Structure formats: C-alpha cells, structure tokens
Chains A and B, each alone.
Chain A
Amino acid sequence: MPKLIKDGAVVEDSWAGELLDLASYNEHVTAGSAPDGKLAVQLEPGESPADISGDLTKLPMVAINFPVFTDGRGFSYARELRQSGYQGEIRAVGHFMRDQLGYLARCGVNAFAFAEETDLSAAIASLSDFSDHYQADTLQPEPLFRRR
C-alpha cells in the first residue's frame, strides 16, 4: 500500500473509495448516486471548491492536484474549503514538494501524497520549520497580533 503523510505521521494510504474528477463527481451528485463516504473528488488548477456540487459534509476527502509545484492555486482552494467549514481530509497530490508542506498545512491540507519519491519520515520535519506565524490560518485562527 502506498504511504503518505497524514495528520503529521507517515501512514499507509487507507483510502478505499473512488477518486473522481470534478465533472464526474458532480454528475454523480446530480444523478443522486453519490454514495456517502465512498466517493471523493479531485480538484485541478482552475477548479474552485465552489464548483463542487452537493453537500460538502458528505465528502470524506477532497484531493487537490499540483501538476507543477509552482502553481499555487491549490493553496487558496484548501483555504477556501476550510473557510467554508469543510472538516474532511484535504489531500495534496501530485508534484508539490517537501519545502511547501508548512504552507500547505497552514492552508488546511492534512494529507500529502507525493508523486515523486520522497523520504516521508524526513519530510515531516518541514511541517515544523517555524514555531510561530504572523497570519491567521487554518491551524491557528488567531493572527499573532491578537496573541501578542
């Protein structure tokens, strides 16, 4: 089973459902055939969380694809998902890199499935490069200036 980083630990990928692209997922929802907990959706750059049909609370996972690590749209998608109250798994997939983990986590991504071979146990360290941050984010809803 492939491994990934999830909630700060290296784990086996236990996802057993189906991961659909946005159009297919939305079709299922429209047809009323989206089974609870078995279907997830993968967003590509240019596909905003606002485009996902149906009840987000029934979605166990939203994957955000990074075809290239320099395309930062996914950071905003994760942030918007959490802002809208989404509590399920947000999984970064594709060609993001270890040195982006801290930023991704702060935007609300809690699972990281690297397309490239990565030393996951070493990569976890990049989640805690910094002990504090100026801005409000998903992990720390109060900006530093309200905590100083």
Chain B
Amino acid sequence: MYVYDEIDQRIVNERVEQYRDQTRRYLAGEISDAQFLPIRLQNGLYVQRLAPMLRIAIPYGMLSSRQLRKLAQISRDFDTGFGHISTRQNIQLNWPLLEDVPDILAELASVQMHAIQTSGNCIRNTTTDQFAGVAVDEREDPRPWCEIIRQWSTFHPEFAFLPRKFKIAVCASETDRAAIHAHDIGLELVPNAAGELGFRVLAGGGLGRTPVIGSEICAWLEKKHLLTYLESILRVYNQLGRRDNKYKARIKILVKAMGADAFRERVEQEWAAIKDGPATLTDAEIERARSYFTEPEYKDLPALAESAELQRALAENNAFARWYQRNTFEHRVSGYRIVTLSLKATGYAPGDVSDTQMEAIADLADHYAFGEVRTTHEQNMVLADVEGNELLGLWQQLTALGLATPNIGYLTDLICCPGGDYCSLANAKSIPVAEAIQERFEDLDYLYDLGPIDLNISGCMNACGHHHIGHIGILGVDKKGQEFYQVSLGGHQGKDASVGKILGPSFEQDAMPEVIDKILATYLDLRTEEEHFLDTYRRVGMDPFKERVYAEAH
C-alpha cells in the first residue's frame, strides 16, 4: 500500500487546517452559502435530505486494517455506527455535523486518509480493479498508476473549478472490472506491437442523464507521458466544456459535440506545448510508486487442488462449498484465494457496513490477509490474499458477521445508491426496492440457476447506482410527485460495455419484484443451455421481455 512520506502528511494536515478555518469563517458569516458550497464539497461534505453526508476517499479502494478501525471509530463517534461503500470505492457517513467535520478530517489525517475532492466539480477519486495485484489476468499492477494520478490530481491548481465532476478509472487486465468505458477518462494498460505496455486512453464516457460509452482518444501512449496527456485533456475540457447547463457539462457532451477526431486534434495541440516538459514522469518516480505495491510475503503453498484440508471441507460442507464457488476468486499465486465479503445480505442496505463489522473485518484482515482490505465499486469488500487452508475458518467467521451471503455476481448482489431515504437529489427511494427484490429472490437454487446477473438501482438520473450498465437497470423517476421506477435491459460493464435500453412505461414500487420476476421468467423460457441473461437479451432483443411484462400487467 502507498505510505505517506513527510510531505504527503504535511499537505493533508494543511488541508485540515485550511478547512477548519474555512468552516470557522463560514459559521461566522464571513463566507456565503454559495461560496462555501464548492469548499465543503471538495472536502467531501454534502448537505443531504436529513443531515450532512461526508464522503471519505478510499484511493482506488485500498485500506489498511488500521484505517478501517479508524473508520469504525469515526462512524461510531460522529454517525450512527454505519458506513456506506459507494460505487467510487469510497465510504460515506450519513449523519456528521457540519461543525464536527474539521475534527473528523483530522482523525482521518492521523491514519493517512482524507476526503479531498470526493465531491464537487473537480477530479474525483481514481478507481480501479478491486483485484489489482492479485488477478490472474493482470498485465501490470494498476495501483502505482492510480497513486501517480491521485497525487497529480490532488489540489491541481487549474482544475478545481471544472464545468462538472471528472472521474478517471484504470484497467490493467483482460477483464475490465473498473467500468472504464463509463468514465470521463478510462485508461487501459495495453501492449503495443513491440509488446511494451502503454495507455489506451478513452475519453467522454459517462452515465448520468446521457449515458455514453467512451471514445478512444489515443490508442497507445507511452507511460511517461501519462500526466502531460491527462493535463491536455483536462485543459481542453476546462476551456471548452459547456457551463450553461449542468446536464450538458460533462466531457462526454463536449466529445460528442466536437466529434472524437476534432477533440483528439485539440488535445494533441495542447499536448504539443507541454509534452516532454517537467511533468513528464521519470523512471525514478514510476519506480518509487511501484515500490509501495510489492508482493506481500507469500508462503510457498501447495495448489488449492492439493490442499487436503480445503478439499475435504468443500466435499463435506455444502454451504461452505457454495460460498467458495460464488464469493472467492482465483489468485495469481498458487495456494491463495481472493475473498469477496458480501455487503448484500437481505435486510441490510446494499453497501452498508457497521462499526462492529468494520472492526471485525480489520481483525480478519490482520489474521488472514496481510492487514489489507479493499472496497469494490460493486459495493462489497475484499480480502485479497487468503491461504486456501484458512478459507473454512474465515468463512465461519464471516458467516457469523453476516458477510458471507453467497451471492457475488448474482441478482441479489445488486448495486444500489442511497436513494430517497438519504439523498436530497433522489427522485425516489432505492433501498426498499433493493430489499424487496432481495427478499423475493432469496432462494439460492433459483438464484444460481439464473446465472450471473447485474442488477443496478439508481434513485435518480445522476446514476450513482450505475443503472445504465446493469443487465437489468432500475431508475427512480418522479411522476407528478409519485415515485415510479423505469426498467432498462441490456446494459453491461466490461470491454464490450453497452448502455441499457428502456423496457417501457415505469412501474410503482410495489410492482417491482413482480416485474423483475417476469423479466427473469422470460429469460428462463428463452435461454439456450448455458446462455447468460445478457447473451439471451442480446440474441432475442427487447420485444419478448416487453410483451411478457406489459401483457400480463394490463
């Protein structure tokens, strides 16, 4: 993991003191509400429906057990003892007092954490693969690059008042687990003809009101040019992005309006002025960033197939075997397994984790996984390095904690924003819809028979729940003051990303489990053997689903 040096720590400490003074001046009436808005947003603080919400940065999803314990303590001292993992791998607290935020930030700084640029019209937390460094299909560890981008984007003087928020994601593996096509900038580490890895740069992807898949702006960029190239894209966007309408202010609108070719040309023009300048990365800096992400001290273990203890447990314990199959993943190193902790137990808001769970997870991380924990953009957590013969013991403890629901990648492992229960932007509640669907489809045999399905729920157009890229997407809409839900099908994240298409007229909240049931029944009727939901949808199209859902509804 990256560890702050004296300079990193000083910068974060100075930020706390800066914000402490800004809060003091605001409370003294020296800063207006309008002026304080971007200041508090860029320190993570929203004012929500019921109380402020503080979004704490978890850079590219990496946490130490010490940091997680601190988050547990903060959530207990300043909130009601819960944290909510967001789709940007961050963690949100729902009840902090505005007056307390400087103290919370100081607590965070004591464990090398912050809430810098987690909101506002600036460059946000860079996200990546939650399996970075341990994935079998990885070309290179993306985390040193994420850290380099984090430092470059932190307090960038030119890009703190952009037309709109700006999100960057990095993928370095065969399978895209970071949804890079749905980001303002998506970076993929790819080899050129000579086999050397560089960045494929996508720009202008995004969800929200106008979902767009990113356009390729550069097919292969030499690594050392990463920052000057990013700077050029941001400079074009900062000057030419629309500022007259916040719904048309994201870079995707600019790239579409200019066309990818004209946009690229403009970027290259800006780039010519700064390329090879001082912001060009040095080998020493790349090595320095890499030095923080070296391998932990893996043991020389037998392959999982040869671990007698594990194989016996798998053969004897059905529940354990089910969990092993669904919630653990192949590890790059022989004898190890990646474990996903499901934050999608029925009856709990998706992505929520309690203070006691956080402390227990920190203990488990220390015992089983080199003291490291990750958050995922699917709102779960990960212990990345677990020995095969320890899995049974870990599973037993996770089960007791309610963190072993064997549903990762299945329908009930849904993505869900906080929605109208918490968020002042939302048109509709999302958590009750998620719960009703989880309750309806709790039967594991049915769930597994359905195969992998991404179901994503957003309470409004802002699409925090990524509904556009769910195989089944649900969007809360407001119709004459009533909460309704629009369903879309066929969205997908990954290298063959697609944006879902709307099924038809929206539904009342109570109808949602039944609607989902009909969609699933249609799929089960039409699928060929081994065909996943998305494949069936792509083959048969929208009509059969539409007919079934609406024919029986009227």
Mark A residues whose CB is within 8 Å of B.
45, 48, 69-73, 75-77, 79-80, 83, 97, 99-100, 102-104, 106-107, 129-137, 141-146, 148
Does the CB pair B7–A76 fall under 8 Å? no
Residue of chain B at shortest CB distance from A132: B7
Chain B 135-154: CB-based contact to A (< 8 A → 1; otherwise 0): 00000000000000001101
Q: Does B288 contact A (CB under 8 A)?
A: yes
Residue of chain B at shortest CB distance from A147: B7
Q: Which of B156, B158, B243 has the most CB of A within 10 A?
A: B158
Chain B 263-285: CB-based contact to A (< 8 A → 1; otherwise 0): 00000000001100111011011
Does the CB pair A69–B10 fall under 8 Å? no
Give the chain B neighbours of A133 by CB distance below 8 A. 11, 155, 157
Q: Out of A72, A102, A131, name the residue touching B159 (CB < 8 Å).
A: A72
B230 CB to nearest chain A CB (Å): 11
Does the CB pair B288–A148 fall under 8 Å? yes
Question: Majority SS of interface residues in chain A?
Answer: loop
Q: Out of B31, B35, B152, B161, name the residue touching A72 (CB < 8 Å).
A: B161
Give the chain A neighbours of B154 by CB distance below 8 A. 134
Q: Out of B157, B273, B278, name the residue touching A107 (CB < 8 Å).
A: B157
Does the CB pair B14–A129 fall under 8 Å? yes
Give the chain A neighbours of B39 by CB distance below 8 A. 99
Q: Out of B121, B151, B160, B239, name the residue touching A144 (CB < 8 Å).
A: B151
Q: A70-B121, A102-B157, A148-B288 are in contact. Are A131 and B151 (CB under 8 A)?
A: no
Does the CB pair A148–B35 fall under 8 Å? no
Complex formed: what's the CA distance from A1 to B249 in Å? 40
Interface residues on B, range: 35 or more
9 contacts between A and B (CB under 8 A): A70-B161, A72-B121, A72-B159, A75-B158, A76-B235, A99-B22, A103-B157, A145-B282, A145-B285
B199 CB to nearest chain A CB (Å): 18
Q: Does B38 contact A (CB under 8 A)?
A: yes
Residue of chain B at shortest CB distance from A97: B35
Give the chain A neighbours of B161 by CB distance below 8 A. 69-72, 75, 100
Residue of chain A at shortest CB distance from B284: A145
Give the chain B neighbours of A131 by CB distance below 8 A. 10-11, 14
Complex formed: what's the CA distance from A32 to B285 in Å? 50
Residue of chain B at shortest CB distance from A108: B157
Give the chain A neighbours of B11 by CB distance below 8 A. 130-134
Q: Out of A100, A132, A146, name the residue touching B282 (CB < 8 Å).
A: A146
Complex formed: what's the CA distance from A76 to B10 in Å? 27
